[in-house]
Structure 1
C-alpha cells in the first residue's frame, strides 16, 4: 500500500527545487549582463582607439587626425607630435589671432599657433616643453599676460577646465589608450568618424589657428565699450609681491631651443582699462615683473617686446571686443610690430610697443 506524502513534507522540496532553478536563472542572467557589458566596453575601447581622437599615433610621417574638440589642452599635443611644425606660438587667447600662415611669411619656418584659452603659465609651459622636447625648434613666440606676473602662479597651475597630463608624456601613445576610455572621448571619436564620412567639419584648423572672435561685420562699438568697462570693474588685483615663480619656467623655456632659434617674448596688448593705474602698487609690481622678464630675455638671447602699455592701440575702445581681446586688424599690427622689433631692436616710433630686450643689445 502506497502511503501519500504529507503536504507539509512536499512543499519544502518543491520550494527548494524552485529556488535552485531561479538561482541558476539569475546566475545565467548576471553572466549574460556581465558578458554584454564587457563586450560593449571592449567595442567602445576599440572604436575610440581606432578613431584616435587625441592623435596618440601622431608622429613625424604620420599626420594627426582632425581637431574635433574646442578644449585645446586635449587637441594641441597631437599637432606637436605630428612633427609638421618647427615653430610655434604659445600663450592664451590674447595670442590666438596670430595667424601661422602670416607668421610663416614674416619669420620663415613653419608655424603652429598653440595658444590656449585662459591657459595658466604652467599649462603653457607643459605644451611648450612637449614642443621643445623634439629638439628642432626654429622659432618660439611666447605671448604672455599678467598671469606670468602672479606671485601665486605656482599654486594656480590649473583652471576649471580639464587638463590631461597623460597627453603630455613621452609614453602617451600607450598610457592614453586607457586614459581616453571615457564618455568625452567617445563623443570626440564620433565627431572624427563624422568628419571622415564628410558629415562634419574640423573644429579648428590643423595648425591650431582659429578666428574665435565674432565676425568683423558684426562689431558694435557701444557694446564693445560696455564689455571693456564691465571687465575692468570685475578684475581683481594680483596678490602682492615681487617673486614670480612662473618666470623660472619662462627661463627654462628660453634656454631649451637650439642656439640659432628665434626666441621672442611679447607682453600682449591688453586695453588700458585693465592695466595697472600708473603710480599704483600694482603698476610697480608689474614693472618689477617686466624687468625680470627683460633680464631673462637678455640672458637667453631673446627679444622681449612690451605691447602692454598705454598706446594708440590700447587706449582706443574701437580696437577691442572686450578688455583682453583685440580685433583682427590689431592682430596684424602686432605681428608686423614683432617683426620690426626683431629686426631693429628699437621701440615703435608710434608708441605701440617697447623693446625691453634684444640679442643685439647684449
Structure 2
C-alpha cells in the first residue's frame, strides 16, 4: 500500500549504501536551494556595496566645474588629485614631487596670480607627473603652471621607470573615467575611502588634505631637532655620481607639455633646492649629467617662453643643515622663500643677488 501523500517525494537510499544509515530526502534539491540563497545574498551585498561606493564617490568621478569634488580622504595622492583637476576650481597648478609639496597655493595665488592647486605627489616619477599635467591641460583653461624638477627628470632611464611601488590608477586619468570608473572602484580600498567620506560628512573625520591639494607633510616646526636632521643629512645615500650624461626622455615630455599650454599661460620651471648633500659633487660625471640636463631645460624654456629657475645649487640655503629635515625636504620658511623667489625671478629675469637661485631662461631674454 502506498502511504505517501499526493505530491510527496519518496526518500531513495543510494545503491550500495549502508542499510543502517539514515535516508536524506531531497538532499540534492536542498543543496541547490542553499547555494542559490548564498549567491543571491552575495550578489545583493555586492550591489549594495557598489551602490554605497558610487553614492560616496570617493575619487570624485562626478567632479566638474560647478560641481566641487568631495573631501580628499585617501593617503595616495595619485587617486585623489584627478578630482581636484576636474573640479575646475583651479586654473594654475604645481607639479612635482615632495620637494615641491610645501609650496602653498594661497601664497602662490598672491605672488603669481591665478587660482593655484598644489598637485605635487610623493616620489612621483616624471611620467606620473606628466599624466596629471595632461589631465589638467585637457580639463581647464590654464593660466599658469609651475614644474618643480628633481634629479629624476635628468635620468636617462626615466622612460623605463614610469611607475613606483605605489599604485597608479591610469583609469582615473582618462576623459571617460566617470563612465568607466565605477567597476574599477569595486574593491576593498575604495570601500574604505568611501567609509571615510561618509564619516567626514557626518562630522566624525577631518579632510585628509586641503581642497587645493596642499598639505604640510613634514613634522611640526616646533618639533624640529637640528641634531637629528644633521644625522639624516650626513647618512644620506647619494645617487651614483659616476653616471654621466645620457638621453633625457623626461625633458622631451616637459617640452611637449609647455608647447601645449595656451600662449598666455605662465610657464615656470624650477630645479628645487635640495641640500648640497643630495647634489652631485663638483667635477663628477653626475655633476656633468646634471649640467647637461639644466642646459637642455634652459633651451626648452627659451623656446617655449618659460622662466627656468635653478635652486639646485650650492647656496646659503642649501649648505645650511638647519634649513632641512633631510637632504631633500626643506622647512616651511624655505618654502615661503621659494615662492617669493619664483615671483622675483619671473619679474626680473635676473639671478638672485644672494645666490639663492640662478635664472637659466626667461621670456624677455628670448626676445619675447
Structure 1 residues 37, 304: closer, same or farther in 2, change over 3 A?
same
Q: CA offset at residue 213 of structure 1?
A: 0.5
Distance 1:57 1:31 in 2: 36
User: Which residue of 336, 342, 348 corresponds with 1:344?
Assistant: 348
Within 5 A, what are the aligned runs for 1:288-303?
A: 288-303=292-307
1:279 alignment counterpart = 283
Q: Secondary structure at the match of 1:359?
A: coil
Distance 2:57 2:25 in 1: 47
Q: CA offset at residue 135 of structure 1?
A: 4.8
> Does the alignment pair 1:306 with 2:328?
no
> Does the alignment pair 1:357 with 2:361?
yes
Q: CA offset at residue 134 of structure 1?
A: 2.3
CA contact (8 A) 1:120 1:147 kept: yes
- Structure having the higher helix fraction is 1
How many pairs does the alignment contain?
A: 352
Distance 2:239 2:24 in 1: 69
User: Which residue of 194, 203, 206 corresponds with 1:201?
Assistant: 206
Distance 2:242 2:91 in 1: 35
Q: CA offset at residue 14 of structure 1?
A: 11
Q: Secondary structure at the match of 1:155?
A: coil
User: Which residue of 332, 339, 350 corresponds with 2:336?
Assistant: 332
1:141 alignment counterpart = 146
RMSD (CA atoms):
1.6
Q: Deviations over 1:36-60 (max 9, x none)?
A: 1100100000000000000000000
Within 5 A, what are the aligned runs for 1:116-195?
A: 116-195=121-200
Q: CA offset at residue 165 of structure 1?
A: 0.1
CA contact (8 A) 2:245 2:285 kept: no
1:3 alignment counterpart = none
CA contact (8 A) 2:245 2:292 kept: no
> Does the alignment pair 1:52 with 2:62?
no
CA contact (8 A) 1:228 1:322 kept: yes
Q: Secondary structure at the match of 1:305?
A: strand
5+ residue gaps, structure 1, are 1-9
Within 5 A, what are the aligned runs for 1:16-31?
A: 18=23, 21-31=26-36
1:69 alignment counterpart = 74
Q: TM-score normalized by structure 2?
A: 0.93
5+ residue gaps, structure 2, are 1-11
